[in-house]
Each structure stands twice: as structure tokens, then as C-alpha cells.
Copies of this chain bind each other. A is one copy, B any other.
Amino acid sequence: MAESRIGFVGVGRMGFNMALRLHDCEYPVTAVYDVNTHAANDLAEKTGAKVCDTLKEVCSLSEVIFTVVTDDEAMRRIFYGESDNLLMDARNKTFINCATLSPSVHEELQLKCREAGGQSLEACMASSIPQARAGTLYLMVGGAEEVYSGVMEILQSISQSIRFVGQAGSAARVKALVNMVMNINTAGLAEGLGLGMALGLDLEMLCEVFAQTGANSRVLETDAEDMLLRDHECYFSSEHAAKDSLIALNLAEEFKLHLPLAKATYEQYEIMKAMGLGALDKSGVAELTFPGRMGK
């Protein structure tokens, strides 16, 4: 499907950079849709894609459609919206769905796409904007294997590591767990560094010690310096962190599992939203735990 025309629905920072990457790789990016018309126009200018007024039009102009939207609700809107939706012209289309969603949304979508003569695949991303731009995303894929094989070449252009996890919904389950644990580690690190600051410790030294010991983590590498410098430019928003932790907590509830750290983390990110800090990067949770910052 190297010749497939590619459409994009949702060109926030991830979708935008994935589309640019595919354009760099000489895929025809032919259609773009986003309620943020500024982003859509910008992408159109850079890739030659047509800015579509309707979702149906996106389908008419492309065979493979990436959806990179915010949450379950947005996903339902683009696929099942009353006056206009992607399923209106889904025959022989492949939808690659990249948002972090509740697993059941992917399961339902697979059925509905099939009914409409198309097919869907979940491709959950565990990386951030620079990786999207560079084509080095870590992807977790769920769905039917033949759908995966059909778009593998395209996915390889945006990813340096693809893991096929299993049937529809399973990649979303893994992704929810990844983000749940990542968020816990982030909120925990913010507590450690915040208390270190209160104690008057040299925080650079503290980070070095953390890195050498049982306190080490990926988020120490990616977020610690931002926490110290209060540089919360958004790669992965606190709002999204809250959403993803909640997806995991809802799954846990189905099994009556009590996950107090996931819950405490979710609550921290909800506090950030309530304080109007939801758009900060997830590292912004340090604002709640460092003495003298916003949480005080």
C-alpha cells in the first residue's frame, strides 16, 4: 500500500508531525480534517493535502486514514457523529487509530468498521512529538493481523519499533498500563524532588543519586530537569495523564482491584486540571509538590 493516499483526522502535535513524516517519506498525504482549522491549513500548506470540511470528504480522498484525536468522546464523534462521520464512506478504507482510548472503544469500532465495509487497527503510541517527527515512534498495534500486514509498510515509516500485541482492544489495554505506571513514576518523582528541595538538598546531586539507585526511572531522564526548571512545555499534557490514569482505574474497577497509587496519581492530575494547569506537561505535577510553588 505504498501508493495509498493518506488522510489525517486530528492534527494536534502528534498527528501533525506524523503527517509531516509520512510526507517526507513520499506518501501522498491527501486529506486533513481538524476542528482547529489553523493546524489543518498549516499541514495542507506543508504537504499539499486538501483541508476537508467534512469527515466523509476525508474518506473520499484517501484509502488509509489516521485518526489522532483526544479521547473516547472525540473518537465517537468522528466515527458515529450524526450528520457527518467517517463510517459514511468507509468501504475499503483502513482506519489507523492512534489515540489512547478505552479498550472497549476499539473493540466496538472494529465491528462497526467491518459492518461499513472497512477495517480498523489500533496503533497506540508510546513516544512523544520529536519521535513522531523523526519517524521513530514506539507503536503498540492491536487488531486483525491481516489489517496490520496491509499497512505495515506505512507504520514502519513512522516507527522504529512496532509491537503487535493482539486483537482489538489489547494495545489500548497495554497503553493504558504504560501510561498509568509512567504517571505514577512521574508524580512520585515530583514528590521526591519536591521534598529534596524543601530539605535544602542539591537537586542536581539528588538526581544523580536517583539515577544510580533503585529510584532510577525513565521519567527521571525525561522529566526531572523540567521539574527543577519549571519548564512544563507540553509533550504529554497533565490533562491527558488524568484521562489515561482514569482509563486504567476504570479497567481496575471491573475487576475490583484496589490501586491506591494509580488513584492518588489520577487525583493529582485532576487537581492540576481544577487549578487550570491541565495544559502543562505531565512534569508540571511538580508544581503541586515543590515548596513555594502553585500547590501551596
Contacts and interface: CB of A to CB of B under 8 A. Distances in A.
Contact of A180 (B138, B192, B216, B248): B192
Nearest to A189: B181
Nearest to A262: B191
A136 B252 CA distance: 40
Interface stretch (A57-65, A93-101, A194-202): A194-202
Q: Which one of A179, A216, A248 has the greatest number of beta carbons of chain B within 10 Å?
A: A216
Given A173-B199, A191-B180, A267-B260, A215 B255 contact: no
Contact of A177 (B195, B263, B264, B268): B195
- Chain A contact residues: over half helix, strand or loop, or mixed? helix
A295 interface: yes
A258 B291 CA distance: 10
Nearest to A219: B214
Q: How many copies does the complex hold?
A: 2
B198 A177 contact: no
A178 B259 contact: no
A213 interface: yes
A165 interface: yes
Interface string A104-148: 000000000000000000000011000000000010100000000
B291 A257 contact: yes
Interface size class of A (residues with CB under 8 A): 35 or more
A217 B181 CA distance: 10
A257 B198 contact: yes
Interface stretch (A26-34, A40-48, A203-211, A272-280): A203-211
Contacts of A166: 202
A5 to B, nearest CB: 31
Contact of A126 (B127, B138, B184, B209): B209
Given A201-B170, A214-B222, A218-B213, A260 B251 contact: no
Contact of A261 (B140, B184, B248, B254): B184
B259 A212 contact: no
